Structure 1
């Protein structure tokens, strides 16, 4: 394999990629405006807030997943991945923006209220997290009082809830920034000092992330249906986060390689990424099945309410499609060695899984925010346009962040030569 490259190569963000990403952003903005002002009043607003939460959470998770990838590569002192580290580093640079968007969506969804009638009782409820933030749920003597929610009010109230999410996203973003900063400093000074700092930051991230990400998932998504809980939910979300980040990294890497960038990348690097995608797709399936089956083998009938909603006619077909896209598809498309090295198949599989895990998050969120009556047609204008808008925004921000690096390879990383000679 050729080992002499110009590592001063920079990525120029221009042309069709920039144009199409901006078009996607415009489509997303128009979709949001349509949902808030033109689509069936309060129902349209509810649907728009639900989709903004869905995409805001997805956007933040894929950036967090890239930092997770960086962290375990440094902690394991892995050499094979060095040549492609700039892509997850670009994701890490975008996390602060994704975090701000998610926090704004959550705060706006909690503070924007409307009147609802349930079981013949009228209440003032927010558009997001109404299961615990509806007025009167934690007030003794109120006709809406809920003892279960009152018992969780120390965490499930506005400021502790928002504060927890801000703190966790802030910690993830700061350590991600440190990993990028040390890598850029390494390119200037060489030596082992910055690599050792990266190793320490990576270990710190893994410790913090391992203990706190389930809390982030519990707050952000599971609390949409605050009566239900699952101790597997955090790990289920972690598996989805990891697969989506890996697919995003792999898809961008292959597309940029085919457009003339990252010339030192070979099918061996893509093969290694695909092994991770394949393995964690299987892990996602294991946790999905365990959480689903838990209601039976642990004899917890009270938890069936969560899955019962997802077996309503409006969602049941999508419930099973979720398994087809996120388990059956990677199982069949990426099992063989050759499949992991065939770039056309790899791109198709990555796109399929990115859509599949969007559907996965959709099924986590929509049944908890929309009633079956509201979703007679599960996918509408908001789902499509807001997805396109966030895809455009993500593409624009990541490629713009990538263009800020002085080189597309960490030229003075101590394991760069090992990565250039990676062969499996």
Structure 2
């Protein structure tokens, strides 16, 4: 695009971007197969990594819908010319949701043998802390009074119920907001924008109440004895920062390839402020959850962090804070830093890796008996899902008739955004 008045630019998903995304997908899939073929603890780690990456992918796609919703609800103008990118995330969400459901299904219904209290028993690879047979049956040798008390929530039916209903709702709102935007380009007028505003407000209310429950069930229930009322907001902060970082990274990389040239350092500055602010919020929730648990020193609460202070995790535990708090704090604090393309690009890459580590620490200590560090399971699953997300997202982006929402009522404000 030579000027920002050329509103007919389309994105063509060809060349090296398409090739490398497919190469990553295939190479990662081969590594995943190798992980399962190796057997034993490798299978256990493979299931955990597939859960990690499918959950991460769902969170990033949901962050796209969340971004669209609060931009419409706030009637923000600055973001109008870049909304095709979070709309592409929203279009990938149904596929990401299906993958997550398939992963948790495989982990729930595939069992392996473990030795617990000197006895051999068969437990599922995922959610063994509540899905193992007999935990809620009085008189059974596996009976657990704590899990039995949580039985109304920790059941297969309820688990699948909230997964399907919540992810289905998020996918619907993502589809509806995207459709209103594309219809707006054809019809003009304010009808679709007004509809988007109503959809956004409705979504935000539903999302605010349901996302913590989604995080409780999908991730916190991996260690069902432990609970934290802050865990849902902690996940919300991680989800939002990850999504914003990937949105900003996509903008930077596509601008380097000659797309979205109407987006300036002012748009990056606005995204940078949001990444910086929500990284601080993530740190606040992380510290509040950690500090209150440490201060109270109640065994049923402190056991969660005790696991993460074992030698194989302690280094990663503190690196998590460095990557997700100190890095954005030091790299993005100044005004100029948020306007430097390469600074933003590397900060976003660092945060994407940092929140992968964040999810790793949420999942691995509760699902893997013996941690042997990073291997083919971690590398393969990350590469596979990175390639899959890139391929699906850029394919969705290429199907828009225009990269600019041509009849968005605040388009001119966005094109002339200056701070």
Question: What range is the shorter-chain TM-score in?
Answer: over 0.9
Residue matched to 1:194 = 192
1:299-332, CA deviations, whole angstroms, 9 ceiling, x for partnerless residues? 5342110000000000000000000000000001
| 2:384 aligned with 1:389 | yes
Quote how far apart the aligned CAs of 1:296 are: 3.3
User: Which sits farther off after the overlay, 262-271 or 149-158?
Assistant: 149-158
Residue matched to 1:11 = 11
8 Å CA contact retained: 1:23, 1:392: yes
Q: Provide the secondary structure at the position in 2 that maps to 1:234.
A: helix
Quote how far apart the aligned CAs of 1:122 are: 2.4
Residue matched to 2:27 = 27
8 Å CA contact retained: 1:3, 1:420: no
CA separation of 1:160 and 1:4: change in aligned 2, threshold 3 A: closer
Quote how far apart the aligned CAs of 1:209 are: 0.3
User: CA separation in 2, counterparts of 1:170 and 1:129?
Assistant: 22
User: CA separation in 1, counterparts of 2:35 and 2:3?
Assistant: 53
Aligned 1:131-146 pairs, distance under 5 A? 131-146=129-144
Residue matched to 1:242 = 240
Q: Provide the secondary structure at the position in 2 that maps to 1:116.
A: strand
Q: Provide the secondary structure at the position in 1 that maps to 2:382.
A: helix
8 Å CA contact retained: 1:123, 1:134: no
Residue matched to 1:310 = 308
1:160-209, CA deviations, whole angstroms, 9 ceiling, x for partnerless residues? 11121111000000000000000000000000000001001100110000
8 Å CA contact retained: 1:82, 1:416: yes
Query: What TM-score do the two structures reach when normalised by structure 2?
Result: 0.98
User: CA separation in 2, counterparts of 1:171 and 1:123?
Assistant: 38
1:204-230, CA deviations, whole angstroms, 9 ceiling, x for partnerless residues? 110000000000000000000000000
User: Which sits farther off after the overlay, 293-302 or 9-18?
Assistant: 293-302
User: CA separation in 2, counterparts of 1:28 and 1:204?
Assistant: 38
8 Å CA contact retained: 2:32, 2:376: no
Write out the 4+ residue segments of structure 1 that deviate beyond 6 Å after TM superposition: none
| 2:363 aligned with 1:401 | no
Which of 278, 289, 292 is the aligned partner of 1:291? Answer: 289
8 Å CA contact retained: 1:49, 1:109: yes
8 Å CA contact retained: 2:405, 2:411: yes
Residue correspondences, number: 418
Residue matched to 1:79 = 77
Quote how far apart the aligned CAs of 1:42 are: 2.6
User: CA separation in 1, counterparts of 2:84 and 2:45?
Assistant: 36
Aligned 1:129-208 pairs, distance under 5 A? 129-208=127-206
Which of 262, 265, 273 is the aligned partner of 1:267? Answer: 265
Residue matched to 2:217 = 219
Query: What TM-score do the two structures reach when normalised by structure 1?
Result: 0.97
8 Å CA contact retained: 1:10, 1:407: yes
Q: Provide the secondary structure at the position in 2 that maps to 1:30.
A: helix
Quote how far apart the aligned CAs of 1:297 are: 3.5
Aligned 1:334-413 pairs, distance under 5 A? 334-371=332-369, 374-375=370-371, 377-413=372-408
